[in-house]
Structure 1
Amino acid sequence: MRRLSDAVLIVAIALSGCASAPEARAPRIAAADTADAAGFASMRALVPDIRMEIRYAGTHNFVGTRIEGYEAPECYLLRPVAQALARVERTLREAGRRLLIYDCYRPVRAVAHFMRWAGDARDQARKAEFYPELDKSRLVPQYIAERSGHSRGATVDLTLLRCDAGGSCMPMDMGTGFDYFGELAHTDSPNATPEQRGNRHALRAAMEREGFRNYPDEWWHYTLAPEPSPETAYDFPVR
């Protein structure tokens, strides 16, 4: 049986979500208007050759357009979170693997953009790739919600790369793409193949060693636990 504190932690992580999972209480929005003012660190500054594919800064995402607040394809996290993620990357490299980051800090205005999209039943342009088995009306609140843990600067979306001796890296097979809304993206989905579940578990093990915990409905979604500032969200743009 899990200790009570473990059970509480699991519930807290399940509420940290993304696209976003629902949260019980709205955090305050900090007045900081830059990453430096908010105490955030750039992953590119900590790990200059970190692999990133920041989806919301472009058009390859479930909305189909650049998301408000993403002015550049950069990854910012609260400094202790960024430092923990850098340690994950260093350890993985010793085993011929690396991280590929899809999203980090997400401004509050970006989450509002998601909600407007979710409320527009006419816009189904990206259904085939991102939610083929679900009616769009069912995406809220399990996958998209009014508040996101990403806005607190302690949550990251990512996958694993396998690299050869020459430094060429390819994404490992996780069974779905990033931001696939549906049961197959659940970390322990019985419909994923044994290889896909093994790859997901390898990512989970690497992240857990540095204190990150997975949101079980999304194999790519991790939050540092305990969060450095769970009561505070941010809205400065990603630049």
Structure 2
Amino acid sequence: MTRLASALRALAATAATLLAVTAAAPGAAGATGTSATSTGSGVSEPTAPDEFVALRTVAPTIIQEIRYVTPHNFVGEPVDGYDQPLCILTRPAARALQRAQWKLLRQGYSLKVYDCYRPQRAVDHFVRWAKDLQDERMKPEFYPQVDKSRLFADGYIAEKSGHSRGSTVDLTIVKLPAKPTRPYVPGEKLVPCYAPQGERFRDNSVDMGTGYDCFDTLSHTDDPRIQGERRANRQLLKSTLADVGFTNLPEEWWHFTHKPELFPDTYFDFPVSWRSVVGR
């Protein structure tokens, strides 16, 4: 059995589950082509333009761990606008990730996405949280060495995000066969995101030197303190994505934008949900 065949076999159960979810998604039986959908309360929500797709419909073997729909993030609670654990991207970005995934599968790895399209209301949630200097419940894990009053000045939080344009993704690499990520328990003891891999929150990613969303200079992709296997893992992610048109943000090893962007000047606010991409 070839390495690619072994990798595909290791992902078969995951893919089948994801495809089942896709088939059962709300509204999957009939897209309407409208620009807004009505929620159960009768309030209309914006929907995504036709150029957006759910990544699962393009590259179902890519693992998804959408952090902002859970309380395990720097805010400490589910983030506004994340209605379902779903990666939505512009179609060119999704297809590029599909090509990157095939490259990694041949080497015994899989991509795993943490965040994709991010609605403006989520960014607004981050801004409100950053201005509340009393709320530091997640500081021990995500920004242990950064004064919260400096999150804007140091560039960790901003009022606009490239994620809201639809071609930016946060992701990592997982060695196959993928081990399950242990559940996060709200209130559990938090460990700094830059602690050794065996001590910080373990999420089945290869060792990148820090956890995801670690507000620390160690998260800079080419930080000279990151060496050996951890540096090699970062370079594997960076080079694989560069080959399919993604550019890395130097301050965050996990952050990549597909170029050219379809919507370089538009910040969308439709919610992260199946309804946004199949109920239009």
- In the superposition, the TM-score normalised over structure 1's length comes to 0.83
Contact 2:59-2:97 within 8 A present in 1 as well: no
Counterpart AA for 2:140: A
Q: Write the deviation string for residues 106-148 of structure 1: whole angstroms up to 9, x where unpaired.
A: 0000000000000000001100100011101121151110000
Q: Distance in 2 between matches of 1:75 and 1:129?
A: 24
Runs of at least 5 residues in structure 2 that lack an aligned partner in the other structure:
1-34, 37-45, 180-203, 274-280
Counterparts of 1:34 and 1:85, CA distance in 2: 23
C-alpha RMSD of matched pairs (Å):
1.3
Task: State the match for 1:137 in structure 2.
Answer: 149
Q: Do structure 1's residue 152 and structure 2's residue 162 form an aligned pair?
A: no
Distance 2:224 2:144 in 1: 18
86-95 or 147-156: bigger deviation? 86-95
1:213 alignment partner in structure 2: 247
Matched residue, 1:20 = none
1:48 alignment counterpart: 60
Question: 2:94 — aligned with what?
Answer: 82
- Normalising by structure 2, report the TM-score: 0.71
Q: Deviations over 1:72-112 (max 9, x none)?
A: 00000011111111111111101111111000000000000
Q: Which runs of 5+ in 1 are unaligned?
A: 1-30
The count of residues paired between Structure 1 and Structure 2 equals: 205
Question: Which structure: larger Rg?
Answer: 2
* 3-state secondary structure, aligned to 1:89: helix
1:198 corresponding residue in structure 2: 232
The aligned counterpart of 1:234 is 268
Q: Which amino acid aligns with 1:83?
A: R
Question: 3-state SS of the aligned residue for 2:80?
Answer: coil
2:210 to 170, 176, 179: 176
| 1:193 to partner: Cα distance | 3.0
Q: State the AA in 1 paired with 2:135.
A: D
2: CA distance between counterparts of 1:195 and 1:147? Answer: 34
* Distance in 2 (alpha carbons) for counterparts of 1:81 and 1:41: 10
Matches within 5 A, 1:30-69: 33-35=46-48, 37-69=49-81
Q: State the partner residue of 2:113.
A: 101
Q: SS in structure 1 opposite 2:77?
A: coil
